[in-house]
Amino acid sequence: MIDATIWPARDYSRVPYRLYHDRELYEREQERIFRGPVWHYLALEAEIPEPGDFRAARVGDTPVVVNRDRDGEIRAFVNRCAHRGALVRRELSGNANEHICIYHQWCYGLDGRLMAIPFRRGVRGKGGLDRDFDMGSHGLRPLRVAAVNGAIFGTLAQDAEPLDTFLGATILAEISRVLHRPVRVLGYTRQRIRANWKLYAENTRDNYHASLLHEFLVTFGLDRATQVGGVRMDARHRHNITWAEADSDTAEAARSAYNGANIRNDYLTLRAPELVEFRREREDNLSLIITSIFPSVVFAVISNSLAIRQIRPRGVDEVEVHQTLLGYEDDTPDMALHRLHQANLVGPAGLVSMEDGEAIELAHRASRPDRDRTTVIELGGAGVISDRDYRVNDVPLRGFWSYYAELLGIEPPDAVR
């Protein structure tokens, strides 16, 4: 059983491999994190605009359905019949007046209430349910829901802090900004990676790897560690924004910085340079804004591509990364096309993201046999966990682990937070 003694360092600069491979721990994560007092991204209001629209979601291993009821309210439930525990809504999305379990046709309203049970009084006075069976206490189990500019979050814990507090002002401001005007879903991508979900969650907080692993960024001069950038966290350091400013370094400075890094720096050119053309859309000049929200959702703005990535654990050894690609309703046709072009940068086949799948599989595979050994998280220094205004750091990984340890009840004495 993993406890607070697991940590070799109280600043989380060393993470034992065991934490990526332990099956008992996975179950505890489901209980304390995914069914715990944490908010999870479910869907966009834009995906369920009409009453009766529904969409399947996942909160860890728990299947969830989110729908808009007759009054236009957003509601979410555990997608599981109160009778035999079967999945009620089988489709990934659609429109319906009610949710009916196919097994015995128990029927639930869009408010989750149990509406009807076939043969409730039996047939010809025989069989059926007892008279005192309480329909009212056998609805679909509700989630608490809240939204930020149309991004719907839910939690199974009635005692979770309010969503705004959970996100904190910095993160709230950034998501509000990305979703500051109505969005349109351009499509979805999915990817199954044979690695523990936390390796992916760490990867999105790792500023250090970006231009080293994703060589396309440097080879084609799109994004480099020499740019002005850094990391910004919430007060509890559980969430993180990795950011970088466009055109904030010179090719000369980059060449000398990457000298000896085994990365070609002759800056090849693309035949279709619009693929990496950054069109400024906001007051700041940020061309990279990766907002990682604990535990499992990422709002990624890479150049002009906009995406929401959900990290969906599938057991201790596999994770699904589900990506929702977005544009704005009022994009000009030219901008809409530009976003479709830049979708080439991200996702399972993304020119600047495909490597992530390989990298975390390598980490998962090689760390498995030697569980007492540890990773090293020390870029940007060990010790205090705080925002940084430079790119060569992986400090937010330690923030992730700090909150993780707190939730799982394995925080070491005098832990750095």
Instruction: Please report whether residue 181 would count as binding another protein according to CB under 8 A.
Output: no
Instruction: Please report whether residue 46 would count as binding another protein according to CB under 8 A.
Output: no
Alpha-carbon distances of 254 from 117, 121, 266, rounded to whole Å: 68, 77, 11
What Rg, from alpha-carbon coordinates, does the chain have?
A: 23
Q: Among 84, 90, 190, 280, which residue sits at the site for another protein (rule: CB under 8 A)? A: 190
Return the residues of window 93-112 that contact another protein according to CB under 8 A. none
Instruction: Please report whether residue 320 would count as binding another protein according to CB under 8 A.
Output: yes
Instruction: Please say which residue, 202 or 355, places its beta carbon nearer to another protein.
Output: 355
**What would the x/- binding string for another protein be over residues 294 to 313, using CB under 8 A?**
--------------------
Question: What backbone phi and psi angles, to 5 degrees, belong to 199?
Answer: -65, -35
Instruction: Please report whether residue 251 would count as binding another protein according to CB under 8 A.
Output: no
> In angstroms, rounded to a whole number, what is the distance separating the alpha carbons of residues 7 and 368?
17
Return the residues of window 198-227 that contact another protein according to CB under 8 A. 213, 215-216, 219-220
Residue 181 DSSP symbol? S
> In angstroms, rounded to a whole number, what is the distance separating the alpha carbons of residues 113 and 123?
24
Residue 365 DSSP symbol? H
Q: Among 107, 157, 228, 354, which residue sits at the site for another protein (rule: CB under 8 A)? A: 354
Instruction: Please say which residue, 9 or 335, places its beta carbon nearer to another protein.
Output: 335
Min separation Cβ 349 and another protein, Å? 4
Instruction: Please report whether residue 163 would count as binding another protein according to CB under 8 A.
Output: no
Residue 34 DSSP symbol? I
Instruction: Please report whether residue 365 would count as binding another protein according to CB under 8 A.
Output: no
Question: What backbone phi and psi angles, to 5 degrees, belong to 401?
Answer: -70, -35
Within 13 Å of residue 284, how many CA atoms lie on the same side as its CB?
A: 14
Instruction: Please say which residue, 59 or 319, places its beta carbon nearer to another protein.
Output: 319
Instruction: Please report whether residue 91 would count as binding another protein according to CB under 8 A.
Output: no
Residue 119 DSSP symbol? T
Instruction: Please say which residue, 160 or 217, places its beta carbon nearer to another protein.
Output: 217
Min separation Cβ 187 and another protein, Å? 3
**Helix, strand or coil for residue 67?**
strand
**Helix, strand or coil for residue 359?**
helix
Nearest to 310 by CA among 7, 25, 44: 44
Min separation Cβ 404 and another protein, Å? 25
Instruction: Please say which residue, 180 or 264, places its beta carbon nearer to another protein.
Output: 264
> Sign of torsion, CA 193 198 199 202?
positive
| Residue 27 near residue 42, CB atoms below 8 Å | no
Which positions touch another protein (CB under 8 A)? 92, 185-194, 213, 215-216, 219-220, 264, 268, 270-272, 275, 320, 325, 337, 340-341, 343-344, 347-349, 351, 354-358, 361
